[in-house]
Amino acid sequence: MNPGLDAADMASMDPPSYVSERGGKFLLIWPDRPSWMVVDREAYGLIEGKRWMENEELTKGLIQAGVLMREPTKEEEKRIGTVTINITDRCNLKCIMCYTTVRKKSRKELTTPEFIDFLEQTSEFTSDRAFLLILGGEPLMVPEKTLKVSERALDLGLKPTISTNGTLVTDEFAEKAKALDLDVQVSIDGATSNTNDAIRGKGSFEKAWQGVKKLKDHGVHVTLCMVMQRSNEDELEKYYELAHNAGVNEVRFIPLQRVGKGREMVNEIVDPLSMVKRAYKLLLEHEEYRKMSKRDFFTLLGNRCLACAKMRYCGTGMFTILCNANGDVYPCTNHGIPEFMAGNVREKTVSEMWNGSVFERLRSLYDIDRLNPCSKCTVRYWCSGGCRGEAYSVSGRFNSPSPDCGSTRKAIIEMFWILAEHPELVSLSPLKTLDLI
């Protein structure tokens, strides 16, 4: 339902400014609301002639589709949904696309009490049901620290997810992870050792699967995560099959981002439209995989399209904050740009950084209504200009559109059709933002 809906809004509803037809059905898009609907010819005629009120069902549908909705206030928008910490910079692998491996290793990493202090301060700005994402480097290089920080996060109402390469999982860690009910994401980049090991290093597939088995033996909630690339995209179906047979709880596939070493891998990029089409076919054919799809690229995009919220920002620095291993605070993982380093937790409070000039500047720079050509785009409130960190990494400019612009636009339009015809393929995600990592 749309808060703030009244008769004046109803009367002032504009006709849709984008219409496309497929097999006698019409996709209508109201970019400024934002909203969309798929209707038959008769309903389209009523909408076009501003006579929708003659049909009660259609009027209800327009309300539900969010054709009329209230904009969130600035304060409502600015709540952290995902807190990320890079708990260590150290790692035992050297994955070929890793966005962190070009980072300078921190000399002095934060201690456990310092990370906990950061979380305590940050919890003042988090939304209800916010997540803590523990990344690195490799969190299992420092398992005790990872567990202690997770435990405190739970007390503070943050749901922790740990992303690991899976090669260092021990029974002791698995047992403690289960006791804390942690969500452990294991990164495996293919369904075969050949494909995965070419990306993550020799022997890593076998070791990571041993890690998955240990975690599952202890009853831990396990998510498998694959960075989709040209070399592994054909293995998606097999990947789901392996995960399903191993009793894995969730599967994610996320786009390769042109950040860090990923910047050199343009030939490996799979465009968003291809990702949507591939996942659509897979989930249509395999009902049993749908319950494992909650935070993958397809499902998150579907959720954005369903929500019809006026998403004016990709989320960086608006719903996200990142604390690096050395205490430097940035808006997100893909924004390790010196210009957006808000300070260090050893020198500034979180409140000073979150409300300070660095984050405020970023929020105004990345408002989609101010970006060109995005401000005129039909799908801007569903796309939000893509990952701004990646756009900057590729172009060196803050105001450039997503490097996947054309394909993203097509992917969103395709998603509207999919949702109209097969809404059962997109389960509602617990995430508010399009978190990709």
Ligand X SMILES: C[S@@+](CC[C@H](N)C(=O)[O-])C[C@H]1O[C@@H](n2cnc3c(N)ncnc32)[C@H](O)[C@@H]1O
- Work out how close the CB of 416 gets to ligand X at its nearest, in angstroms, rounded to a whole number: 26
Q: Which two tokens stand for residue 111?
A: 């201690």
Residue 82 CA neighbour count, 13 Å, CB half: 25
Using an 8 Å Cβ cutoff, are 27 and 417 in contact? yes
Nearer to ligand X, 100 or 122 (CB): 100
Binding flag, residue 99, ligand X (CB under 6 A): yes
Helix, strand, coil fractions of the chain, as percent rounded to 5: 45, 15, 40
**CB neighbour list of residue 406: distance below 8 Å, 6 or more residues apart:** none
- Work out how close the CB of 28 gets to ligand SF4 at its nearest, in angstroms, rounded to a whole number: 18
Residues numbered 387-416 forming contacts with ligand SF4, rule: CB under 6 A: 401-402, 405, 408-409
Question: Helices (DSSP H) in 323-387: which residue ranges?
Answer: 350-354, 357-365, 380-383
- Select from 35, 38, 88, 138 the one that contacts ligand SF4 (CB under 6 A): 138
Residues numbered 340-399 forming contacts with ligand X, rule: CB under 6 A: none
Binding flag, residue 137, ligand SF4 (CB under 6 A): yes
Three-state DSSP state, 144? helix
Using an 8 Å Cβ cutoff, are 388 and 401 in contact? no
| Residue span binding ligand X (CB under 6 A) among the ranges 24-32, 90-98, 234-242, 271-279 | 90-98
Binding flag, residue 166, ligand SF4 (CB under 6 A): no
Residues numbered 74-103 forming contacts with ligand SF4, rule: CB under 6 A: 91, 93-95, 98, 100-101
Nearer to ligand SF4, 101 or 112 (CB): 101
Binding flag, residue 374, ligand SF4 (CB under 6 A): yes
Q: Which two tokens stand for residue 295?
A: 């935070």
Dihedral angle of Cα 167, 171, 177, 181, to the nearest 10 degrees: 120
Q: Which does 228 bind (CB under 5 to 8 A by kind): ligand SF4, ligand X, none?
A: none
Binding flag, residue 100, ligand X (CB under 6 A): yes
Binding flag, residue 143, ligand SF4 (CB under 6 A): no
Q: Which residue has the tokens 């090669």?
A: 167
Residues numbered 222-281 forming contacts with ligand X, rule: CB under 6 A: 225, 227, 254, 256-257, 259-260, 262
Binding flag, residue 260, ligand SF4 (CB under 6 A): no
Which CA distances in Å does 425 have to 195, 202, 298, 422? 28, 36, 9, 6
Binding flag, residue 377, ligand SF4 (CB under 6 A): yes
Q: Which does 160 bind (CB under 5 to 8 A by kind): ligand SF4, ligand X, none?
A: none
- Select from 81, 302, 331, 385 the one that contacts ligand SF4 (CB under 6 A): 385
Number of neighbours of residue 6 by Cβ within 10 angstroms: 8
Q: Which does 374 bind (CB under 5 to 8 A by kind): ligand SF4, ligand X, none?
A: ligand SF4
Binding flag, residue 141, ligand SF4 (CB under 6 A): no
Q: Which does 331 bind (CB under 5 to 8 A by kind): ligand SF4, ligand X, none?
A: none
- Select from 88, 146, 150, 163 the one that contacts ligand X (CB under 6 A): 163
Number of neighbours of residue 155 by Cβ within 10 angstroms: 11
Q: Which two tokens stand for residue 258?
A: 């042109």
Q: Walk across the sheet containing 328-330 and list its strands.
A: 250-255, 221-228, 183-187, 159-164, 126-135, 80-86, 320-323, 328-330, 343-344
Residue 154 CA neighbour count, 13 Å, CB half: 14
Q: Which residues bind ligand SF4 (CB under 6 A)?
A: 91, 93-95, 98, 100-101, 136-138, 165, 373-374, 377, 379-380, 383, 385-386, 401-402, 405, 408-409
Q: Which residues bind ligand X (CB under 6 A)?
A: 91, 97-100, 135-136, 138, 163-165, 187, 225, 227, 254, 256-257, 259-260, 262, 437
